Structure 1
């Protein structure tokens, strides 16, 4: 069965972007059509200029992926949301996109879609798990069937979390490890498999 997966993420230096690419790889290997989208920044150019590379990375990612739209969310059978940790919580940029979905939420357009989350932090114990769990709340309100990674694949015994793929950049934009990416690929595949089952159940 054909499955559409939207991966909507925010990434400032490219770490969460790399996890998104891993999830997309796993999803495509499972037969899904994938749309990768990077949400817009919401801070001023003055603020971005204070962090080396922020503006350049932002422009590259928006040019490469484009921002997610409400139409992307309607198109998708499943959505993965990715975010860096911001003080133990979801980034404001990704949350702004989630908040924009109210118009289709009220129509029930997201009910029964598969949903999952992944993220990155700057330090060990930097808030990855609390951030992913904080994203479960709006997913539940929007009507998603939340798909955790659990320990359903051997990769989860080496990296990630039972809530979603994770990475630690050690405040140096260190890229995800191969173990991190193995979890991301599994998460993409698992989300597609659940989305396919849900879609089939709706059609039968």
Structure 2
């Protein structure tokens, strides 16, 4: 049987969400998945980015490390995991632009039945980490994805994260995700891969 194929499409400005994305990827690979790790691109130009210290430099470095997610990546995948920082309690414009670009696949029904999951980070405590993850559930439902939350299906969930997906609070980018938060993200990768594998097995024809 082929390996489950997992697309992790994320946006990150100051690396917190990037580190969670890498941990989700590590968990998925550990569970036997083939992974594509992709960073959504900015929708504003360098002049705007220079107004936030480090934004342009960080974006340039991350874009060198990761390809941009494409429609072909989403069609390829058995599971799509979205990652985003919080923007006013909701999804970042950059990741939303990628999701909006999947309208052609949606119209053709090519995303129906794929696994979907989410993770994210926020700068401040109570800054919208859970509301952000829940806000992504809505377009995921429209795309026809089978939404896979984390629940409390692993002991790591009692230390960090949320039942909706892995999260992290950076406290104005002073803190990076610690081992507990990264463990939740790795569990998310394993869980998504497990569900994707089960769905693939159910869909594969049985030999006569």
TM-score range, shorter chain: over 0.9
Corresponding residue of 1:169: 170
TM-score (norm 2): 0.96
Please say if residues 16 and 177 of structure 2, whose CA atoms lie closer than 8 Å, have aligned partners that are also in contact: yes
Q: Distance in 2 between matches of 1:56 and 1:27?
A: 29
- Partner of residue 114, structure 1: 115
List gaps (5 residues or longer) in structure 2.
none
Q: Deviations over 1:118-155 (max 9, x none)?
A: 00000111100000000000000100000001100111
Instruction: Determine the structure 1 residue equivalent to 2:4.
Output: 3
1:124 paired to 2:134: no
SS of the aligned residue for 1:176 comes to: coil
CA 1:98/1:173 → structure 2, altered by over 3 Å: closer, same or farther?
farther
Give 5+ residue unaligned stretches, structure 1: none
**Cα-to-partner distance string for 1:164-204 (whole Å, 9 max, x where unaligned):** 00000101252111100000000000000000111111113
| Misfit runs of 4+, over 3 Å | none
Alpha-carbon shift at residue 62 of structure 1 (Å): 1.2
Counterpart residue number, 1:59 = 60
Using the alignment, how far apart are the partners of 2:85 and 2:139 within structure 1? 17
- The aligned residue for residue 153 of structure 2 is 152
Corresponding residue for residue 25 of structure 2: 24
In 1, Cα distance between the equivalents of 2:201 and 2:109?
Answer: 18
Does structure 2 retain, via aligned residues, the 8 Å contact 1:13–1:173?
no
3-state DSSP of counterpart to 1:106: helix
Q: TM-score, normalised by structure 1?
A: 0.98
* 2:108 partner SS: coil
2:106 paired with 1:83: no
Quick check: 1:15–1:173 contact (8 Å CA) kept in 2? no
Report the RMSD for the aligned CA atoms in angstroms.
0.8
Tell me by how many angstroms 1:3 deviates: 0.7
Partner of 2:42: 41
